[in-house]
Amino acid sequence: MIAEETLVNKLKQKKSQAKAFEVLVNTYKERLYWHIRRIVLDHDDADDVLQNTFIKVYRNIDGFKGDSKLYSWMYRIATNESLTFLKQKSKKLGVSDEELKNSMVENLQSDVYFEGTEIQLKLQKALATLPDKQKLVFSMKYFQEMKYDEISEVLETSVGALKASYHLAVKKIETYLKDG
Amino acid sequence: MKKDKENNFKTPEGYFDSFHDRLMDKIKQEEAAAGESIIPKTDGFTVPEAYFSNLTDDVLSKTISSEKGKVVQLKPYRKFFYGAAAAAAVLFLVFVPNWTTEPQIGFEDLAHTEIDDYFDTAQLDMSSYEIAEAVSLEDIELSDVMDDNLEVENILDYLDENVEDIEELNLDYSDYE
């Protein structure tokens, strides 16, 4: 895999930009897709948000200063795009954020791209009850198996607070799955 | 079979020899059961066939290819548009009388919904601290920015979940004495 610094330099030069951007998309498309999908749940919505994320990355790469790692910068854009997308969707439909989350989970039952079992559907219902931050931390740690340091850089939250959030999320989900 | 000298109880042959191994097996099994979460390891989401293989082309067509494909006009009429716009501006200034008497639109004329809408949809990229610096909090009540009343229980839940170190809050304890 091409070194991140080299990739960033190539992305910033007009001559090598096209090829470097293709490498970037191929390297991160699946990881970013699953990150977004676990926030917006629906495949078509995830596809829209992912494409917007890459378009923003492409347009703003010159402004990337390298203070953080490239992947955490892209994860941050993907997270913001996903949350903004949901906010706009709830506004458009005239429902509260909570109502939207519940309807998203209900829609999963008829979603052709969701082949979850009863317990997996129940897990989604449990996740819908969590605050956004806890849900994000849980998804990044449990499903994407990211390290706390990496999550910390994406969400700009201390490792200690992330550990507490993850612990709380696991407890709430387990309780929901047992009792809910 | 081994016989106890004092109370005539018997144990199976080799019972005590294998006891330690059996005990350790049992402990391991119990530990594994306790550590096993009831949360499923996968979440059941799938994607359409060949989605990821076509994705790169889709993204590139909306970024790099769309820039390459931009049409460059052979006859740059644009400069004439600037001239026409300037002439129209001069004519407007000359022939529209008393334009300064028209009421000016100020910030207070903006409907609250428009302002709310702007904040909801615009990508402001401002952190909470930057917003706090820009907005004076002295004249603002909590009820000005929140639709629902904030219950004490919600505040405590929030602090419980988000504050690691109580010292970070910089509380003035003299208020509570």
The ipTM value here is 0.86
Q: Compare B125 and B113 and report the one with higher pLDDT.
A: B113
The residues that bridge with B45 in the sheet, in sequence order, are: A114
- Contact predicate A109/A124, CB 8 Å: no
What's the gap in Å between the CA of B41 and the closest CA on chain A?
A: 7
Q: Which pLDDT does position B36 carry in this prediction?
A: 72
CATH topology of domain A1-95: Rna Polymerase Sigma Factor; Chain: A (1.10.1740)
A25/B46 CB distance under 8 A: no
Helix ranges (DSSP H) in B36-127: 51-62, 64-68, 78-95, 112-121
| Residues from chain A contacting residue B114 (CB–CB below 8 Å) | none
What length does chain A have? 180
- Contact predicate A32/A53, CB 8 Å: yes
Q: Compare A119 and B27 and report the one with higher pLDDT.
A: A119
Q: Which pLDDT does position B76 carry in this prediction?
A: 54
Highest mean pLDDT among B1-15, B32-46, B123-137, B157-171: B32-46
Highest mean pLDDT among A32-46, B16-30, B157-171: A32-46
pLDDT digits (tens, 9 = 90+) for A94-145: 999 999 999 999 999 889 999 999 999 999 999 999 999 999 999 999 999 9
Pick the CATH number of A116-180 from 1.10.10.10, 3.20.20.140, 1.25.40.80, 1.20.1440.60: 1.10.10.10
* B177 confidence band (pLDDT: 50, 70, 90): low
What's the gap in Å between the CA of B145 and the closest CA on chain A?
A: 17
Q: Structural domain boundaries of chain A?
A: 1-95, 116-180
Q: Which pLDDT does position B79 carry in this prediction?
A: 59
B37/A174 CB distance under 8 A: yes
How many C-beta atoms lie closer than 10 Å to residue A153's C-beta?
19
Blockwise average pLDDT, block size 10, chain A, 180 residues: 82 90 94 96 96 94 86 94 95 92 92 93 94 94 95 93 94 89
- The residue of chain A with its CA nearest to that of B161 is A165
- Chain A interface, mutation test: which of B37, B39, B62, B154, most A Cβ atoms within 10 Å? B39
* B114 confidence band (pLDDT: 50, 70, 90): confident
Does A1-95 match A116-180 in CATH topology?
no
Give the integer Cα–Cα distance in Å for B163 and B168: 8
Q: Which pLDDT does position A27 carry in this prediction?
A: 93
Pairing of strands B10-11, B2-3: antiparallel
